[in-house]
Structure 1
Amino acid sequence: MTRAEAKERNRRALLDAAFEIVSRDGYRARLDEIAERADLTTGAVYSLFGSKNGLVVALVTDYLRPYYEEVERAVPAGLDLLEAVDAFARHYRRGCDGPDALPRLSLQITLLDMALHDPELGSQLATSVRSQENHLIALFTGRAHNRGHVTLRQAERLTTALRALLVGLSQGVPLGLAPGADEDYFAAAARALVTDVSLIDHDSAPSRGRRGKPTDAATRPSTRPC
């Protein structure tokens, strides 16, 4: 085994061990236990990831990367925006029935708890998640919608809204808090976000009169794309 192969093996062992222990213990997860589970020393953690926080951030990246690769396959090019959002939501819902649904939910809740206890880690985790979500933003940007095409800014806003909606729904499914939320429900809820209201830029919002009502120009049917 080459040095590079040994390094990758150790990295993989630590990430797998961290997934198990962090999912179980959250911010109480001990670095020495993670290293022991991987048959390594804490020195290997510092050598490969720099710190416990570095290991946790790498764990999130490792966890999200294959997910976004699957999304790109589930939402092919050529679909318009409504079709793409529909396909994405249905793919997301199918994941709720997978064998790893409960471990994934446990990890999500645990990472949120860790972020609340450690603001520095929370900032690092947010940066990691946003970098992965760029794949989803790119997936929606440029798709046909309302006689136009989705801009980068609009795709960013839509991704934020979809994340909030689908994460919330997917957490409710295994907990029994979303009865009847099947693929059709997920898809319909996601498509409802694809409107001028959710995609419109703040700077382009309708102007309002003195009493807060839209002006005549704002109430006329919009021909503005997307």
Structure 2
Amino acid sequence: MRMTRAQAKERNRSALLDSALQIVTRDGYTARLDEIAERAGLTTGAVYSLFGSKNGLMVALITEHLRPYYEEIEQAVPAGVDLLEAVDAFARYYRRSCDDPEAVSRLSLQITFLDRALHDPELGGRLAASVRSQENQLIALFTGRRHGREPVTSHQSHRLTIALNALFVGLSQGVLLGLAPGADEDYFADAARALAAGMVVTEQEPDQR
């Protein structure tokens, strides 16, 4: 059966993203578009047609890189448990991801994008928007769960999500770099639960303070 135009477009998009992942992981942001396109069996024109620019391709790459991570978190955190139990499950999932064979490559990719974003405000803004969009899934995952006598509000969940991501990024880098050899699942879970339990609870929005 002949492929439709939409199917061909999606196939080409996936091929370029797969190629970009391999080459950017190897070469960083100096990866050449012509090599990415050639590896995918396409031309650089396809890159511009599908992504608009090299930055557009990079943003799509990090978005695709993050999507499975957030989807797996939703599966790892049980429905119906309270906030601290949800945070515990999230922490243990994050620690297990450090043992994945691709964990070092993922860290390298993250550092590559962070370094480039610091020197390219346009790329930095687009990457930040992409990450915030994905983080909304975590905010929704925690919102409404019981913590003490009250359900967690969206505002509280937002603050907690930012803090947990910062905690886990730091700890996971420590694990992968050999700086935190004792940081096992229990360590991640204990740190995350302590953070969640100790955060100041407020019902006020930031502009009401």
- 1:44-94: CA deviation from partner (whole Å, max 9, x where unpaired): 001111111111111111111111111001002101000000000000000
TM score, norm. by length of structure 1: 0.86
CA contact (8 A) 1:27 1:113 kept: no
Task: Find 1:34's aligned residue among 33, 36, 44.
Answer: 36
CA contact (8 A) 2:153 2:203 kept: no
Instruction: Give the percent of matched residue pairs that are identical in Structure 1 and Structure 2.
Output: 75
**Are residue 165 (structure 1) and residue 167 (structure 2) matched?**
yes
Runs of 4+ aligned residues of structure 1 deviating over 6 Å after TM superposition are 201-204
- The answer as to whether partners of 2:91 and 2:192 remain within 8 angstroms in 1 is yes
Aligned partner of residue 144 in structure 2, secondary structure = coil
Residue 119 (structure 1) aligns with: 121
Say whether residues 1:107 and 2:109 are aligned partners.
yes
What residue identity is the alignment partner of 2:133?
S
| Higher gyration radius (CA) | 1
Q: Hey, what's the Cα distance between the residues in 1 that align with 2:148 and 2:22?
A: 46
Give the TM-score normalised by the residue count of structure 2: 0.93
Aligned counterparts of 1:27 and 1:7: Cα–Cα separation in 2: 24
Structure 2 unaligned segments of length 5 or more: list them.
none
2:205 and 2:75 map into 1 onto residues whose CA distance is: 34
Higher helix share: 2
The aligned residue for residue 128 of structure 1 is: 130
Asked whether the equivalents of residues 173 and 179 of structure 1 are also in contact (C-alpha less than 8 Å), the reply is yes
- Does the C-alpha gap of structure 1 residues 198 and 179 become closer, same or farther in structure 2, counting only changes over 3 Å? farther
Q: Is contact 1:82–1:194 with CA below 8 Å preserved after alignment?
A: yes
Letter in 2 for 1:140: F
Structure 1: gaps (5+ residues): 208-226
**CA deviation profile, 1:87-114 (whole Å, cap 9, x unmatched):** 0000000000012111111111111011
Q: 2:104, 2:176 within 8 Å by CA — same for their partners in 1?
A: yes
Distance 1:15-1:155 versus aligned 2 partners, 3 A rule: same
- 1:46 paired with 2:34, answer no
Q: How many residues align?
A: 205
- Could you tell me how far apart the structure 2 residues matched to 1:17 and 1:198 are? 45
Q: How far did residue 199 of structure 1 move?
A: 4.3
Q: CA RMSD in A?
A: 1.7
Q: Which residue of 2 aligns with 1:16?
A: 18
One of 187, 190, 193 as aligned partner of 1:188: 190
Shift of 1:197: 3.2
Secondary structure of 1:92 counterpart: helix
Paired AA for residue 110 in structure 2:
Q
How far the C-alpha of 1:171 sits from its partner, in A, is 1.2
- Cα offset, 1:2, TM superposition: 2.1
Which amino acid letter does the alignment assign opposite residue 190 of structure 1?
A
